[in-house]
Structure 1
Amino acid sequence: MTQQVLFIQGGGDAGYEEDAQLVASLQTELGAVYQVHYPRLPSDKALPDFGWLQQISDEITGIRGNVILVGHSLGASMLLKFLSEKQVKKKITGIFLLSTPFWSGDEKWMEGLTLKEDFAHKLPGNVPLFFYHCRDDEVVSFENLALYGQKLPHAALRPINSGGHQLNNNLFLVATDIKSL
């Protein structure tokens, strides 16, 4: 049976197009036993979460069977927000987050992105959680990885020496960890 993977894109006007290369790498590395779903998530700038929490819910619900979740950048942080604030009825096999920003601050625009203080205790239990971050990420500071490590000591942290924000469009390491489940 084919294993289902849902990849949530990063933000920005070209986020979907830029992350398509990450998705292609992941699908190639995983092979035909996995099917990577890659929906375009349009942003509704009138909503504090850009409307992404509802879209993520709809996408997870639409997948048949268990699901592996992968998110990049804004998509990774929105997956965490969704999983810590909404009830998920679908069995999640693993969570894999790339270049994940840890939103903090009092700016009004961040309200829909910031995790609640107790988010770590609200995530689905007994689900493997992995974070990947390149030391030379030019968009999301590498220090964000350590922040998640402090809040989620059970998570596997995968620092990568180089690859920038897009991890050189090479998700071999992520695919290896997915296959290990």
Structure 2
Amino acid sequence: MESDMVMHHGGCHCRRVRWRVQAPSSVVAWNCNCSVCSMRGIIQFMVPSEKFELLGDSKECLTTYTFGTHTAKHTFCKFCGITSFYVSRAFPDGVSISLKCVDPGTLTHVEIKDFDGRNWESSYEREFAPRSQGAVSTELEETEALVDDIDGDMPVVIGAAVSNGISSEI
């Protein structure tokens, strides 16, 4: 799977926030209907934090919104307001990347799956519990499953495509 890893670049609309992230060229991204994700229109995929790097003066251009337990750090550009990434509560060692904020050219395939974040518990059971009980394919076992469960954050899977999703070529 390491051979599929590429360096993606991205950021906000005004380009004051810029980052790069090492991730597969093919990703599973999640379209969550929780209140925060719905209002922001974010479709996201997750990466380990050591694969993510803010570039230049980007940190000075960020501000953060928190709610609930204040553990999740919903970062956005304080100039244009775009959330190009954030740090989730349940996976503080990871970064959630907004798919629409990745510069064109490095993503070769994206599978977008819907996640019912308004009904997190039943959605998790339906989408992820069977895999955690050994019912995953060999392909998925080679990928890293990361679960984010509080403050409206959604479960995410890095890497291989899974069934029940909408597959789209980029």
TM-score normalised by L of structure 1: 0.29
Higher strand share: 2
TM-score normalised by L of structure 2: 0.30
Higher helix share: 1
Compare relative contact order (CA 8 Å, sep 6+) and give the higher one, 1 or 2. 2
